[in-house]
Amino acid sequence: MPTGAEKPNPSHLLPESGNPAVRRLPTPGELRAEFRLSATAAAGIAASRQTILDILAGRDRRLLTIVGPCSVHDAAEALAYGRWLQLQATRHADCLFVVMRCFIEKSRTGAGWRGLVRSPLPATCLASQADQAASPPTDAHATDRQQRPDDTAEGLRQARDLLCQLAEHGLPLAVELVSPLLWPYWADCASWVAVGARGVESAALREAASALPCASGFKNATDGQTDSARLAVATALRPSTVLTVDEAGVLVELLSRGNPLPHVVLRGGRNGDNLVQAAPLAAQLAVDGLPAALLVDASHGNSGFRPETQAGIVRCALELRRQGLPVRGLLIESYLRSGAQPLDCGAPGTTSIGQRLQAGLSVTDPCLGQAETASLLDEIAAALK
């Protein structure tokens, strides 16, 4: 038995404010004050949320079309893509409701880049920042930001700034819910939220979705089965007590109202597409008294991660819709250029990125380029008329 002087000290289990390994994050309130949504942008977000609810409920016959990169890594490129996508949205506004996919966190099964929020890339590797990266930083804080890996505080700032800028352009945004603690930083900017295949069984994410003010889509699990997504819909629909942080960054227990319209996203699985499950899933959702709206992810398991296959998945989804199934929307992975590039980021928290990225290429899943995306949107619009 240890003596009195040798008793175990549990303090090492808790982060200490003076510990250099502990970094204080800005609070949601601080970032909302630093990067504010205008009244016009906030009204646009509220209107787009209602439009999405109307589409999912079948009151609006347009097709919800969520288009954009697998994950955002370069804010300047994302803004350029958003301006282009807005033009496409205007062209097809009579039959498509286009939302920009702006995923700022990356869900991982193992190691890898964790997205803009958790691992913002240094300017020295971003193609859009070539001129700025060639010059030394002008202040010590900028130097610290460039040299420090996995800087969530800086990532939150960059992500919040980007989302606000896109929202000010009037573009509805889709964001993925990855961390149950970070959604208060961006929820006011989102018009639609995804819970991915790796997070769909998480009780914390299901509870968080029940507190969100916009419709949330739950992807089926990576094995292609839909039971976990269906159960997630049932959980998110109900009011719940949710552990979260308030505007001051204090951990609180929130009584949620339930998600306004949770639904399932068919994204395929390890063995290929799972569109064959659309009919039995819709029937089971109806039996369970749950929203029967379905979205089809044209990428991921459905496409075998081959961007050129997305068009075929889209055609199959449109055929299911013609047959009377409640396919209310699509997810399409698209970026400035077709394809992808590898990102060598090393182990989390240990190394910075030394490579210079190519302009306009995804750093995660391969995407369709602008030309292919425009052609596919034209085809979808023509099929709906």
Q: Which two three-digit tokens encode residue 84?
A: 């282009």
Per-residue confidence (pLDDT) for residue 356, from 0 to 100: 86
Flag the least confident range among 142-146, 151-155, 258-262: 142-146
Asked whether the whole model's pTM tops 0.85, one would answer yes
Mean pLDDT of all residues in 99-124 = 90
Mean pLDDT, all residues of the chain: 91
Mean pLDDT of all residues in 268-282 = 98
Per-residue confidence (pLDDT) for residue 137, from 0 to 100: 40
Q: Which domains are seen in the chain, by residue range?
A: 27-55+63-384 (3.20.20.70)
Residue 334: strand, helix, or coil = strand
Per-residue confidence (pLDDT) for residue 257, from 0 to 100: 98
Give the containing element (helix H, strand E) for 295.
strand 294-297
| Integer Cα distance of 62 and 55 in angstroms | 6
DSSP structure class, residue 367: B
Per-residue confidence (pLDDT) for residue 108, from 0 to 100: 74
Better-scored residue on pLDDT, 248 or 135: 248
Q: Strand 251-255 to strand 241-245: parallel, antiparallel, or no bridges (unpaired)?
A: antiparallel
Q: Which two three-digit tokens encode residue 143?
A: 């130097």
Q: Which two three-digit tokens encode residue 194?
A: 């995804």
| Integer Cα distance of 143 and 380 in angstroms | 47
Mean pLDDT of all residues in 279-285 = 99
pLDDT band at 116 (very low <50, low <70, confident <90, very high): very high
Per-residue confidence (pLDDT) for residue 20, from 0 to 100: 77
CA angle, residues 120, 121, 123, in degrees to nearest 5: 125
Q: Which two three-digit tokens encode residue 210?
A: 């029940």
Per-residue confidence (pLDDT) for residue 148, from 0 to 100: 52
